[in-house]
Amino acid sequence: MIVTRFAPSPTGHLHLGHAYSALTAYRAAQEMKGRFLLRIEDIDPVRCTPEFTKDILEDLSWLGLKWEEPVRRQSEYMADYGEALDKLRGMGLLYPCFCTRGEVEAEIVAAGHAPHLKKQGPDGPIYPGTCRGMLPEKRRQMMGERPAVWRIDMEKACAAAGTLVWRDREKGVVQAHPEAFGDVVLARKDVPTSYHLSVTVDDELQGVTLITRGMDLFRATDVHRLLQALLGYPSPEYYHHKLLVDESGKRFAKRDKAVTLRSLRESGKTPEDVRRMAGF
């Protein structure tokens, strides 16, 4: 049975782009008489709020979507992410990184003569590996002195996983190149997980078989495919849909209040109006 999901972050109100993404997943489940899940990705303790979560549920219900209960809220399942993190750590694929963002940027600038330290990945500048080769004694000392993020040793991880592919409904079979991201963070200083880790674990635990999301996350799937292989998860099918844009070609954003579902509701638009505006 097909299982789809919509997984917004409660950092603002939903806009037309979110409506398109939610309706895409909902329609895919309906057409195949499958299941549609809703997940709230609220791992960010600063930007995510209960008020936005409440508004998201109200907006989606108003739009006519129905989902299975209970809604999975990531902030309630840190133990699941910790278990996955421990497994990767036990495989020798993680290391603590004590660098601040400013220190990383300073090292990249200072190493301007070294091209390999200036590479840009899909998430921005690639981490130069400052803490990767730290001696165990120094690492133990630093663990008691400074907070750390946990990064994946991408070279080791890719060697352990081997050649990887994943399937997209539009693009067909895609060869994964997670090495383009460098040593990504899998657990932050303020929360024991990250986007890459938590969505991979959640999709597996929730039995999602078709992941629908925007084209802006196409490359990130390479990292998720790597984590699936390392954790022993099967790879679901993907559909990376187009991104809605305004008349000037600019992507919709939460800060653009004119196209939030809440403002459209308040202006008198009906759910049918919004569905048409989103292309449904």
Please tell me the predicted confidence (pLDDT) of residue 112: 62
pLDDT at residue 26 above 50?
yes
Mean pLDDT, the chain, integer: 93
Q: What is the DSSP letter of 12?
A: S
CA 143 to chain centre: 27
CATH topology identical between 1-76+245-280 and 78-197: no
Nearest-angstrom CA–CA distance, 222 and 177 = 6
Quickly count: other Cβ atoms within 10 Å of residue 72's Cβ: 18
Provide the β-strand partners of residue 241: 214
Angle at 238 (CA atoms; ends 236, 242), nearest 5 degrees: 165
Domain ranges for the chain: 1-76+245-280, 78-197
Please tell me the predicted confidence (pLDDT) of residue 117: 46
Nearest-angstrom CA–CA distance, 114 and 108 = 9
CATH number of 78-197: 3.90.800.10
Please tell me the predicted confidence (pLDDT) of residue 115: 47
Tally the C-alpha atoms within 13 A of residue 260's C-alpha that lie toward its C-beta. 17
pLDDT at residue 248 above 80?
no
pLDDT grade for 222, boundaries at 50, 70 and 90: very high
pLDDT at residue 114 above 60?
no
Which residues have C-beta within 8 Å of that of residue 138, sequence separation ≥ 6?
A: none
Give the global pTM. Answer: 0.93
| Average pLDDT rounded to a whole number, residues 247-268 | 83
* 147 touches 192 (CB < 8 A): no
Stronger pLDDT, 198 or 125, i.e. the higher one? 198
Cα separations in angstroms, 105 against 102, 113, 146, 226, 245: 5, 14, 18, 26, 32
Question: Residue 87: which H helix or E strand, with range?
Answer: helix 78-90
Q: Kindly report the backbone phi and psi dihedral angles of residue 164, in degrees, each rounded to the nearest multiple of 5, phi listed first.
A: -130, 145
Nearest-angstrom CA–CA distance, 242 and 265 = 24
In three-state secondary structure terms, 89 is helix
Which residue is listed with tokens 């990887």? 164
**Tokens at residue 162, please?**
């081997």
Please tell me the predicted confidence (pLDDT) of residue 153: 98
Nearest-angstrom CA–CA distance, 190 and 46 = 10
Lowest-pLDDT range of 82-96, 112-126, 140-154, 174-188: 112-126
CATH 3.40.50.620 fits 1-76+245-280, yes or no: yes
CA 12 to chain centre: 16
Q: Which residues of 119-146 are buried (b: 16+ CB within 10 A; e: fewer)?
A: eebbbeebbbbbbeebeeeeeeebeeee
Which residue is listed with tokens 């638009």? 269
Stronger pLDDT, 80 or 255, i.e. the higher one? 80
